[in-house]
Amino acid sequence: MTIFAQVYIDEDVDVIVATLLLARGFDATTAREQQMLGEPDQKQLAFAASIGHRILTHNRLDFEELHTSYVVNSQFHARVLIAKRRNAYEIAERVAILLDTLTADEIAHQLLYI
């Protein structure tokens, strides 16, 4: 059982969210830190899975489509967290609540809206 979820923040989300999550003790990294800027969404999702992180994005339409494709093809992905565009502090607070409430296994292979 995996208890703590790690978060990979794509380039659409303000990097301050990672800083705020790190300050709260969560494992968070960004597309910038991982040198993944400009990579397509499919590659971002695959990268997040390869490092065992959940991807946090604002890109609802593309990631809903990717999630559906994975489900239809019985594939697993890193888990997708879709955040409505709001200030970085509110996004970080919502992610922290989710990560404090659910284990990594409980959010496995899901698409969640925060």
- The residue range of the domain holding 61 is 6-113
Verdict on whether the full-model pTM lies above 0.75: yes
pLDDT at 78: 62
How many domains in the chain? 1
Q: Both tokens of residue 44? A: 């971002």
pLDDT at 17: 97
Q: What is the DSSP string of 67-106?
A: HHHHHHTT---S-EEE--S--HHHHHHHHHHHHHHS-TGG
Q: Is 27 inside a domain boundary?
A: yes
- In the DSSP assignment, the letter for residue 61 is H
* Per-residue pLDDT reduced to its tens digit, 30-62: 999 999 999 999 999 989 989 988 899 999 999
Q: Is 64 inside a domain boundary?
A: yes
Q: Is the model's pLDDT at 101 over the cut of 50?
A: yes
- In the DSSP assignment, the letter for residue 39 is -
Q: Is 40 inside a domain boundary?
A: yes
pLDDT at 79: 83
Question: Are 114 and 94 contacting, i.e. CB atoms less than 8 angstroms apart?
Answer: yes
Q: Is the model's pLDDT at 3 over the cut of 70?
A: no
Rounded CA-CA distance 16/92 in Å is 9
Q: Is 1 inside a domain boundary?
A: no
* Per-residue pLDDT reduced to its tens digit, 69-93: 877 887 766 688 999 999 999 999 9
Rounded CA-CA distance 114/76 in Å is 21
- Looking up residue 94, the CATH number of its domain turns out to be 3.40.50
* Per-residue pLDDT reduced to its tens digit, 60-75: 999 999 888 877 887 7
